[in-house]
Structure 1
Amino acid sequence: MAFREMIIFYLSLFVLISASSSTVPSAYQVLRQYDFPAGLLPEGAVGYSLNSATGEFSANLNGSCRFKLEDSYELSYQPVIKGVISRGRIQKLSGVTVKVVVMWLGVVGVNRKGENLEFSVGIASANFPARNFDECPQCGYGLGLY
């Protein structure tokens, strides 16, 4: 009887360990936890790190990525994106640039302003409805905004 109880104990322990290791949220789920839509990151995030005490994060893509945002902008993501995240705010962002007319500018921050997202390039900012980023864009394709 003790052997059977030992087998049940080890099987239960294995199930608990397996369940706990599969509950690590994806980078997209972490964005949602901080009140951002998942579509701030393109498809293909292969990992991330987050210091929950300081908010410092890095997200890893499976390569560089570019896509059109509306007719006026083109976004470019490097393979590694870094910044500091808190609820409704991303600061010190690096690895994301936007092409405005003929000039590439680094996106340095994103703020949640109610139903809008404000993207800052330091000297200027632009607002977009947050719902436009509910779906993750695919690299090489446009992001269909409402």
Structure 2
Amino acid sequence: MSPNITVYLFLFVLLFFRPLHADDSPTAYEIMQDYNFPPGLLPKGVVKYDLDRSTGRFHAYLNDSCAFSLEGSYQLRYKSTIGGYISDNKLTDLTGISVKVLFLWLNIVEVDRRGDELEFSVGIASANFPIDNFYESPQCGCGLDCVNGQVSKLRTKSFVSSI
């Protein structure tokens, strides 16, 4: 075999049998769905994630921190790195997500899916929301209604004490 044919054959093998690119791996939003959560729990703009499927430990990364309002009364803030543990219908030990309740910023530490509702816990209090509020991912700055700059309506049950 001539050296040129060997080089071409080698290049063909490299191109044809190359490993899957990162583009072929599921997105962070698809991973959420794999665990029975809607993709809208994460804001638009997740640039990468890591997941240890054996433990459920995950991190999702945004380019920058992110904040927006929903229904005017709920302000949410995401740090550039969101972390925790994920399993079917349950997110625990969450870090990097907080909600403003009255005048206080409280960390959302757990999310449980219970049928068609999601229960968000800040430790001493929790609130339930219909799951269909989270089928669309909010956008940093304007939440779910970025076209005309108005705040979207979120159906909710108020935060109640778990004590």
Partners of 1:70 and 1:142 within 8 A in 2: no
Q: Secondary structure at the match of 1:17?
A: coil
Q: Which residue of 2 aligns with 1:28?
A: 29
Partners of 1:60 and 1:81 within 8 A in 2: yes
Q: Which residue of 1 aligns with 2:113?
A: 112
CA positional deviation for 1:12: 6.2
Q: Does 1:67 align with 2:65?
A: no
Residues 44-59 of structure 1 correspond to what in structure 2 (within 5 A)?
Answer: 44-59=45-60
Structure 1: runs of 5+ lacking an equivalent? none
**Aligned partners of 1:121, 1:53: CA distance in 2, in Å?**
26
TM-score (structure 1 length as normaliser)? 0.88
Q: What is the CA deviation profile of residues 65-109 of structure 1, one whole-angstrom value per residue up to 9, with x for unaligned ones?
A: 001122321000000011000011000000000001111000001
Q: Which residue of 1 aligns with 2:125?
A: 124
**Aligned partners of 1:57, 1:44: CA distance in 2, in Å?**
17
**Aligned partners of 1:110, 1:25: CA distance in 2, in Å?**
22
Look up the equivalent residue of 1:79 and give its one-letter code.
Answer: S
Look up the equivalent residue of 2:93 and give its one-letter code.
Answer: K
> Which structure has the larger Rg over C-alpha atoms?
2
RCO higher in structure (CA 8 A, sep ≥6): 1
Task: Give runs of ≥4 in structure 1 deviating > 4 Å.
Answer: none
Q: Secondary structure at the match of 2:29?
A: helix
Structure 2: runs of 5+ lacking an equivalent? 145-151, 156-163
Q: Which residue of 1 aligns with 2:41?
A: 40
Partners of 1:65 and 1:77 within 8 A in 2: yes
Change (3 A) 1:64 1:113: same
Q: How many residues align?
A: 143
Q: Which residue of 1 aligns with 2:134?
A: 133
Q: Which residue of 1 aligns with 2:78?
A: 77
Q: Which residue of 1 aligns with 2:90?
A: 89
